[in-house]
Amino acid sequence: MKTKLRIVLASVLVAAGLAVTAGAASYDNCADQLKDLGLFQGTEDGYELDRAPTRGEAATMLVRLLGKEAEAKELTYEAPFTDLDDWQKPYVQYLYDNKLTNGATETTFEPEEACSAQMYTTFLLRALGYSDAAEGDFTYDAAIDFGETIGLVDYANCNESAFLRDHVAAMSLTALNTDVKGETETKLLEKLVADGAVDEAKAESLLAFFDNYDAYVEATAAMGDATKMDVSADVSASVALGDQQVMSLSMPMEIKADMDMESLDQSKMAVTGTIEVTIDESLVEEGADTSFEMPMEYYYTDGVYYMNMGDQKVKMEMSMEDAMSQMGDLTDLQNSEPICLIESITKSGSTMTVTYSSAGMSGLVNSVLDSMNIDTAAEGVAIDIGEVISKATVSNGKISGMDMNMKMTMTVEGQTMTMDMNMKCDINSIGNVTITLPSDLDSYTDLIGGADEAAA
């Protein structure tokens, strides 16, 4: 039981500093939005988001995203492929006529074979007007990399090793909010409406959602462009088993950064704060402390990374990029947030309220735990993210503060544990930041050698 509860506590810490990676999620919210537009359909078993898409399904989605479904259904099937069902023939015929597919062989399309992430990314890029022909915009082998450069592919919506219909829904929604080639002010959905392929009334609410999302992204990007910043942040969480509180966590911190964009390793950074944890005695070994407090101090200057771990102070030569990774990217409080993870965004005055997809966030937490070699399924631990709401204050086109609340439920051997977490941050200053480093950095122990020379 204690092992499993430790897994649960690890999940709390993951949620507190979620460094998300691509992985399994559940994008029912994306599938619902696509279905409302007539672009995504399930089967008699529902959306079936947890299985791989087929080549036939991918061909159908491409024709719909090209806005050519009605035209395709008027075609007479003359393509050379002999292995298609009747419902697949119009879509493949359209793609064949327009040189958008060559099939698997001269006479087969293999419609029931799995569609890969690379293949579907290629299809979406074609829908956006990009070409992978000779001397075109991208090559098939580099489709995913090219998709990342235009904002089509992100860390949440695509998993190359386990590509599912889930990701088809997430990537397709992202594509609808991506500008078509050569038209920086025209999203794919706007083009589909203009072409009459999607009903304008049905698209109205989704287009409004896209506008709010774009405004939110612009505000976060404006803050991210700042090279000097002073931020106060606090993460707090309480965990209860039934009616009994078993853990509390508090992590207040101050973050100051002065980035040298021409020579990143000459940047300066200071992250200071404390981690305070109180744990119920049932979760620790007999006689062990049930509460502890430890300093959280990270510094970076002159190409050297410093850590104060309470009873040990160490340093090592390190690039700025690697140092930020070691700090958990604490300075990057506003990463670009994939649209597939967001259910709604509303604006009221200077406040933007973002509601996240609970299922999508649950999948990402489980993905991070998997990357930590924590097998929740094997241990009988079920993790479910409930309500996730973030309120961002926008001032002069930039995010000036955030307040996020998250609820998580974990089931362990039939017992339910709940966690309420709050994360706050306030931007104290941008562009006018003074970083004061400790006077004893020279006394820190050099772990790998070279730090003293780098700092000299």
Query: Looking at the predicted structure, is the pLDDT value of residue 16 above 70?
Result: no
> Band of the pLDDT at 330, cuts 50, 70, 90?
very low
Lowest-confidence region among 1-5, 47-51, 118-122: 1-5
Contacts of 164 (CB under 8 A, 6+ apart): 24, 49, 50, 51, 52, 53
pLDDT for 292 equals: 85
**Percent helix, strand and coil across the chain, each to the nearest 5:** 35, 30, 40
Query: What distance lies between CA 13 and its chain's CA centroid?
Result: 17
- How do residues 88-119 score in pLDDT, each as one tens digit? 999 999 999 998 988 999 999 999 999 999 99
Lowest-confidence region among 70-84, 122-136, 327-341, 346-360: 327-341
- Among 20-29, 313-322, 356-365, top mean pLDDT goes to 313-322
pLDDT for 87 equals: 95
**What's the one-letter identity of residue 216?**
Y
pLDDT for 300 equals: 93
Average pLDDT in the chain:
86
pLDDT for 411 equals: 79
More confident residue, 76 or 419: 76
For the whole model, what pTM was predicted? Answer: 0.79
For 412-434, give the DSSP string. Answer: ETTEEEEEEEEEEEEEEEES---
Q: Which two structure tokens, joined as six digits, stand for 4?
A: 């499993």
Query: Looking at the predicted structure, is the pLDDT value of residue 454 above 70?
Result: no
pLDDT for 89 equals: 97
Q: What is the largest CA-CA distance in the chain?
A: 80
